[in-house]
Structure 1
Amino acid sequence: MQTQVVIIGGGPSGLLLAQLLHVQGIEVVVLERKTREYVLGRIRAGVLERGLISLLAQAQVETRIDTEGFRHDGTVICYDDQHFRINFTEHTEHPVVVYGQTEVTRDLYDAREKTGGTTFFNVEDVQIHNAELDGATRARVTFSCGGTEHDITCDYIAGCDGFHGVSRQSIPQDKRRTFEKVYPFGWLGILSQTAPVHHELIYANSPQGFALCSMRNDHLSRYYVQAPVDDDIADWSDDRFWDTLSQRIPPEFAAKLQTGPSIEKSIAPLRSFVVEPMQYGRLFLCGDAAHIVPPTGAKGLNTAASDVHYLYQALRARFADNDSRPLAQYSATALARVWKAERFSWWMTSTLHRFPQMSAFDLRMQRAELEFLRSNPAAQAAMAQNYVGLPY
């Protein structure tokens, strides 16, 4: 086979890039190592920045965001059984929209199917060849699918296959540098068919640890509590979870909390991770293949979308105008925004969680940070600007 771009990874970032390129008439083949049903079964967050929503429109993706998305004009921050609100639209004139990542992916798959684009599922043994060669030599991607070996020649490869994918590992170790911080706790999250406790997200810093109240729709709530990452999920009954959550949010919210059976429950580790550079010859990394953020700042999917924006613009310039300069600068351009998202996610995590062995001084500093945020409009504006998404 031959194509212009091979996209490794059929998650939201790979699908979004495929759809944007299709609109420009650029040929794409997408490779996904799991089934469509498996990808759609993954439970992920869903706070969407304005930039991602704009990209979906540019990609001509029909979504249900207008009818099923939750517009959030602000968020609530709690500590010491008190709370205050950060008004996003007052400081930035922009809201965020809560619309599950699973639904974004479903919309993208539906759009991909309508284009008739080539997508391989259940692929195995994906290998990247000739990515480092410039000039007339084209790159190749080989893989097996359904017992058949495949060989695709292409101009460029987009690695959208996540933290454990083959794309980043295909860059020689002496050509890449990684930066990482592993946090000493995880997020225990549940999904329940209950009404949300509040119409906006609630972030809580309590003496017992962090908590987050979120939602998917009017009858589907998503809640998280800070927990040891090595806890056995079997030790967390629904009753234990609800008791823990109610102790970590102010009493006025706890009194409104609707409890019920969990329909999904898991513990996720927290990590900050960046690889530099995000490109190697004809191979370009997007999303979790290049960087991970703790979920506190709602930046994972949104930062992947910004990578897609920069790579899409660079590929369009290359194929439409024969201008390779944006591709050459892709890594530097994407990383400039990635590190700002990493900083914000690190700051949110550091401010709202209880770390092991925090001293009395550390606790006072954390409280002073929250008091400053509560009382200072400039600090609130800075948080709002980062939360709704820095411009591309």
Structure 2
Amino acid sequence: MDYKTDVAIIGAGPAGLMLGHLLRQAGIGCIVVERSSQEHVLGRIRAGVLERVTTDIMDQLELGGRMHAEGMPEDGFNLADGERLIRIDIKRLTGKQVMVYGQTELTRDLIDAAASRDLPVIWQTGDSVAVHQIDGEAPYVTFEKDGETHRIDARFIAGCDGFHGPSRRAIPVASVKEYEHAYPFGWLGILADVPPCNPELIYANHERGFALASMRSRTRSRYYIDVPLTETVEDWPDDRLWDELAVRLGPEAGARITRGPALEKSIAPLRSYIFTPMQYGSLFLCGDAGHIVPPTGAKGLNLAASDVAYLSRALIAWFKKNDREQVAGYSALALKRVWKAERFSWYLTKLMHRFPGDGDFERAMQVAELDYIANSEAMQTAIAENYVGLPL
């Protein structure tokens, strides 16, 4: 079966769905193609801290009702070092808040509205998706479904298909540059239906390692510790992980932890990665297809949202005003914000983790930096501005 549309979107995660909704709101045709099932997409456990750019997109789409009703606006967050808790008051320092609302729930809101907003989503195409003729003005996407080959002809293709999708790999190697930094540990996370131990997030730097106390709702908590990459989930039964969290988060927060069985437990490696440029011919990359950030700064989903904000504006200008300048400048504009978010995530990761091979000097630098943060409103303001999200 053949389809024809203005923009073919690969990937039905938050980036692809937000882009599709924004384009349809402007009267631009698009079709979303997703390799996995809807159930699989909604079962992925991902981020939960939303910047203003992300909540603004949901409000612009008039899809933010449940987010505002069930989400948790946060005025600040905390950096812990031993027994000291340094609160970063982001609302006082920036006038803004972040919103705790699970990526799964945001994705559900976007999926539930797709049919009524005339946004077609083709599910379960597997690994068959391929892009063609991206260096010209008539690109197309092919995929297999139900034993048949399908084709989507479009003017542009948006690759919102994550790090392992086909979009980025379709760009000629000679035209790109990749930047990557791998971290020597992973984050072991546990999701449990228990109330959070603290009303705001706590990032802890303990002599035994890093810990994060986070949440998805008032009754669902998400905790992390860093572990060597050689370890497995099986090395960490629930009781051992809860015991370790209580130690690393410090006596006050640790005493408030409510324990419960794991709904999900996994280890994610940490890395920083940027692919440049984020466009080639008629193909554009958004989200994890173009960049990966360590989760320390809660930037992954929010960077995808800012990519979508830039790309949707550019495509709307192209189709509605015959303005080609914004399309040509998409990658350069998006990458300015990407690099700043990568810097902040790298900085916070270096500050709050004990790295293998670091000695007394490196630890003394962490102590000095944290002490400076604790006593400098200017430094707290800089951290708050980055955490709440830099302006588009």
TM category, shorter: over 0.9
Q: Which runs of 5+ in 2 are unaligned?
A: none
Name the counterpart of 1:351. 351
Amino acid aligned to 2:134: A
Aligned-partner Cα distance in 1 for 2:34–2:7: 14
Name the counterpart of 1:269. 269
Amino acid aligned to 1:308: V
Name the counterpart of 1:129. 132
Instruction: For residue 31 of structure 1, report the CA deviation from its aligned partner.
Output: 0.4
Contact 2:194 2:260 in 1 (8 A): yes
Give the TM-score, by structure 2 length.
0.98
Instruction: For residue 152 of structure 1, report the CA deviation from its aligned partner.
Output: 1.2
Name the counterpart of 1:64. 66
Aligned-partner Cα distance in 2 for 1:90–1:60: 28
Name the counterpart of 1:217. 217
5 Å matches for 1:243-258? 243-258=243-258
Amino acid aligned to 1:310: Y
Name the counterpart of 2:155. 155
Amino acid aligned to 2:275: V
Aligned-partner Cα distance in 1 for 2:93–2:232: 42
Instruction: For residue 249 of structure 1, report the CA deviation from its aligned partner.
Output: 1.2
SS at match of 1:354: coil
Report Cα offsets for 1:227-267 as digits up to 9, x if no partner.
Answer: 11231211110010011111101211111111111111000
Contact 2:55 2:64 in 1 (8 A): no
Aligned-partner Cα distance in 1 for 2:232–2:208: 19
Instruction: For residue 315 of structure 1, report the CA deviation from its aligned partner.
Output: 0.2
Aligned-partner Cα distance in 2 for 1:230–1:16: 37
Aligned-partner Cα distance in 2 for 1:101–1:310: 20
Report Cα offsets for 1:54-106 as digits up to 9, x if no partner.
Answer: 11112232441121111110011100221121100111000101000000000
Contact 1:122 1:146 in 2 (8 A): no
SS at match of 2:116: helix
The total of aligned residue pairs comes to 389
Contact 1:156 1:282 in 2 (8 A): yes
Name the counterpart of 2:10. 8
Name the counterpart of 1:319. 319
Contact 1:126 1:141 in 2 (8 A): yes
Aligned-partner Cα distance in 1 for 2:116–2:230: 43
Name the counterpart of 2:54. 52
Aligned-partner Cα distance in 2 for 1:34–1:71: 31
Name the counterpart of 1:188. 188
Contact 2:279 2:331 in 1 (8 A): yes
Contact 2:21 2:119 in 1 (8 A): no
Aligned-partner Cα distance in 1 for 2:183–2:306: 25
Name the counterpart of 1:74. 76
SS at match of 2:129: strand
SS at match of 1:114: coil
Q: What fraction of aligned residue pairs are identical, expressed as a percent?
A: 51
5 Å matches for 1:29-44? 29-44=31-46
Instruction: For residue 216 of structure 1, report the CA deviation from its aligned partner.
Output: 1.2
Aligned-partner Cα distance in 2 for 1:273–1:157: 22
Instruction: For residue 359 of structure 1, report the CA deviation from its aligned partner.
Output: 1.0
In the alignment, does 2:331 pair up with 1:331? Answer: yes
Amino acid aligned to 1:126: V
Name the counterpart of 1:17. 19
SS at match of 1:214: strand
Report Cα offsets for 1:150-189 as digits up to 9, x if no partner.
Answer: 1111000000000000000000111111000000000000
Contact 2:179 2:274 in 1 (8 A): yes
SS at match of 1:268: strand
Aligned-partner Cα distance in 1 for 2:374–2:360: 21
Aligned-partner Cα distance in 1 for 2:108–2:372: 41
Aligned-partner Cα distance in 2 for 1:62–1:71: 13
Aligned-partner Cα distance in 1 for 2:192–2:208: 22
SS at match of 2:32: strand
Q: Is the deviation greater in 58-67 or in 221-230?
A: 58-67
Amino acid aligned to 1:129: H
SS at match of 2:305: helix
Aligned-partner Cα distance in 2 for 1:141–1:384: 42
Q: Which runs of 5+ in 1 are unaligned?
A: none
Aligned-partner Cα distance in 1 for 2:12–2:301: 14
Aligned-partner Cα distance in 2 for 1:365–1:130: 51
Amino acid aligned to 1:187: W
Amino acid aligned to 2:129: V
Question: How much is the aligned-residue C-alpha RMSD, in angstroms?
Answer: 0.9
